[in-house]
């Protein structure tokens, strides 16, 4: 199935593979009006900015693309997130930030009367979002809360989690801002809100209503607050950012600056396959090459052709025009064309029930670290 280029965010559209390309002649910043940008792993990692992110966002803005910062992290208020982005050199205002705390609080407002007590298991961002929706934050199950809302908070204690479990057992609604099992930090991958949600799930047997990516509530909140007409979702996670695009029929750009690497991308299922791929946010500024495949599953991107042979081995072949130029006349290889072709071939083979079982030893240097 393909993306409707006249209406790339048409509800219900599904595009479970890379491509067809949106246009080799136009960069995303020229085609879309709003980039719905994830933060952790895309714009910053922990306390450090991702290289090239600030410059790319600024340049995209000059091309007419607005930036909305969409994060599953419910810890900080939009004002605090915007201040942090500005310190990294990123142009941002509080109204440009959409958090999973806001989405979760909006979900609760639609289900609870004004002034209802909500037990908050999270930080200031979650408390502020609950208050902004006209609900009353509380801290104890003894307050007989109508709901429990849970978001990421590195200072969340056992005692607070126990209060949440007691309230859920007593019949309170349970909403989680997001279910990300991990978060990227400057020291590596750490437990995320989903890992803490699992503790209350194990203690109560209940299941929360999840508001954050990839759930529809978060995408609806992002589009509503950003007033996007032609959005593209930009992220580093297949199970949140990219799946959110698949569910909503919104084109996606995966950047390789966060938790997803080439091997994980190669193994992605239909719901987790990005429309476009870039090393970092400079991918907003450059045309993207065609990455297509033939009926037999042979895939092409730029100078590279890939296929999974009868023995289940993924193989690459390079074909250049005289003088070493690309045969398709597309944009110069950014170092990812071989991976794009490999993904198309691997996905086609997987969908046909014959997934790649090994990789050829003779492969491009850009794919040297890939594993099956």
- pLDDT tens digit sequence for 138-193: 999 999 999 999 999 999 999 999 999 999 999 999 999 999 898 767 788 889 99
pLDDT for 251 beyond 90 = yes
pTM of this structure: 0.88
Q: Are the C-beta atoms of residues 13 and 4 closer than 8 Å to each other?
A: yes
Helix (H, G, I), strand (E, B) or coil at 55: helix
**Overall average pLDDT of the 91-114 stretch:** 97
Do 28-72+214-284 and 101-210 come out as alike in CATH topology?
Answer: yes
> Which CATH superfamily is 101-210 part of?
HAD superfamily/HAD-like (3.40.50.1000)
Q: Are the C-beta atoms of residues 88 and 58 closer than 8 Å to each other?
A: no
Strand 97-99 relative to strand 44-45: parallel, antiparallel, unpaired?
unpaired
Annotate 277-307 with b (16+ C-beta within 10 A) or e (fewer): bbebbbbbbebbbbbbbeeebbbbbbbbbbb
Would you state the structure tokens that stand for residue 147, as one six-digit string? 């709901």
Q: Are the C-beta atoms of residues 218 and 103 closer than 8 Å to each other?
A: yes
pLDDT at 291: 87
- The pLDDT-based confidence of 275 (bands split at 50, 70, 90) is very high
Kindly name the residue from 40, 96, 236, 239 that is annotated as catalytic: 40
pLDDT at 6: 31
CA dihedral (99, 105, 110, 114) positive or negative: negative
Q: How does the average pLDDT of the chain come out, rounded?
A: 90
pLDDT at 172: 98
Kindly name the residue from 4, 38, 143, 236 that is annotated as catalytic: 38
pLDDT at 327: 56
Thinking of the domain 28-72+214-284, which architecture would CATH place it in? 3-Layer(aba) Sandwich (3.40)
Q: Are the C-beta atoms of residues 297 and 349 closer than 8 Å to each other?
A: yes
Summarize pLDDT for 323-332 with one digit per residue, the tens. Answer: 455 555 678 8
Percent of the chain with pLDDT over 70: 90
pLDDT at 319: 78
Q: Are the C-beta atoms of residues 252 and 240 closer than 8 Å to each other?
A: no
In whole angstroms, what separates CA 247 from the centre of its chain? 12
Summarize pLDDT for 61-100 with one digit per residue, the tens. Answer: 999 999 999 999 899 999 999 999 999 999 999 999 999 9
Q: Where are the domains of the chain?
A: 28-72+214-284, 101-210, 291-367
**SS3 letters for 61-95?**
HHCCCEEEEEECCCCCCHHHHHHHHHHCCCCCCHH
pLDDT for 305 beyond 80 = yes
Summarize pLDDT for 314-323 with one digit per residue, the tens. Answer: 999 997 655 4
pLDDT at 252: 96
Would you state the structure tokens that stand for residue 144, as one six-digit string? 């007989």
Helix (H, G, I), strand (E, B) or coil at 313: strand
> How far is it, in rounded angstroms, from Cα 291 to Cα 302?
8
Would you state the structure tokens that stand for residue 302, as one six-digit string? 């730029």
Summarize pLDDT for 1-25 with one digit per residue, the tens. Answer: 223 333 333 333 334 444 444 455 6
pLDDT for 207 beyond 80 = yes
38 annotated active-site: yes
292 annotated active-site: no
**Overall average pLDDT of the 359-370 stretch:** 95
Q: In terms of DSSP H, where are the helices of the chain?
A: 28-31, 53-62, 78-87, 100-109, 124-132, 158-169, 193-204, 216-226, 243-248, 262-266, 337-351
Would you state the structure tokens that stand for residue 113, as one six-digit string? 């009367």
**Overall average pLDDT of the 240-247 stretch:** 95
Percent of the chain with pLDDT over 90: 83
């Amino acid at each position: 199935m393909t993306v409707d280029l006249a209406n790339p965010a048409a509800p219900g559209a599904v595009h479970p593979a890379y491509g067809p390309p949106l246009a080799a002649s136009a960069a995303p910043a020229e085609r879309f009006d709003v980039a719905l940008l994830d933060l952790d792993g895309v714009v910053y990692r922990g306390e450090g900015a991702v290289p090239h992110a600030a410059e790319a966002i600024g340049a995209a803005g000059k091309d007419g693309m607005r930036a909305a910062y969409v994060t599953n992290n419910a810890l900080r208020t939009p004002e605090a997130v915007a201040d942090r982005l500005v310190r990294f050199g990123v142009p941002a205002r509080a109204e440009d930030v959409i958090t999973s705390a806001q989405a979760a609080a909006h979900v609760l407002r639609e289900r609870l009367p004004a002034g209802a007590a909500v037990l908050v298991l999270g930080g200031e961002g979650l408390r502020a979002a609950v208050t902004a929706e006209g609900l009353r934050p509380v801290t104890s199950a003894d307050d007989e809360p109508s709901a429990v809302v849970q978001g990421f908070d590195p200072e969340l204690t056992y005692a607070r989690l126990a209060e949440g479990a007691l309230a859920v057992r007593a019949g309170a609604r349970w909403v989680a801002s997001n279910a990300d099992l991990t978060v990227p930090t400057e020291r590596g991958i750490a437990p995320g809100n989903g890992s803490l949600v699992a503790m209350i799930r194990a203690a109560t047997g209940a299941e929360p209503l999840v508001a954050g990516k990839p759930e529809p509530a978060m995408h609806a909140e992002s589009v509503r607050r950003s007033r996007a007409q032609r959005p593209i979702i930009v992220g580093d996670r297949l199970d949140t950012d990219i799946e959110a695009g698949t569910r909503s029929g919104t084109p996606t750009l995966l950047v390789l600056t966060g938790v997803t690497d080439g091997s994980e991308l190669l193994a992605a299922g239909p719901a987790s396959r990005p429309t476009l791929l870039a090393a970092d946010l400079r991918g907003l500024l450059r045309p993207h090459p065609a990455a297509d495949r033939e009926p037999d599953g042979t895939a092409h991107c730029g100078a590279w052709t890939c296929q999974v042979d009868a023995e289940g081995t993924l193989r690459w072949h390079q074909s250049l025009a005289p003088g070493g130029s690309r045969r398709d006349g597309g944009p110069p290889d950014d170092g990812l064309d071989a991976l794009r072709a490999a993904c198309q071939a691997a996905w086609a083979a997987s969908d046909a029930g014959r997934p790649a079982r090994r990789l050829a030893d003779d492969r491009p240097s850009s794919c040297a670290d890939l594993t099956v």
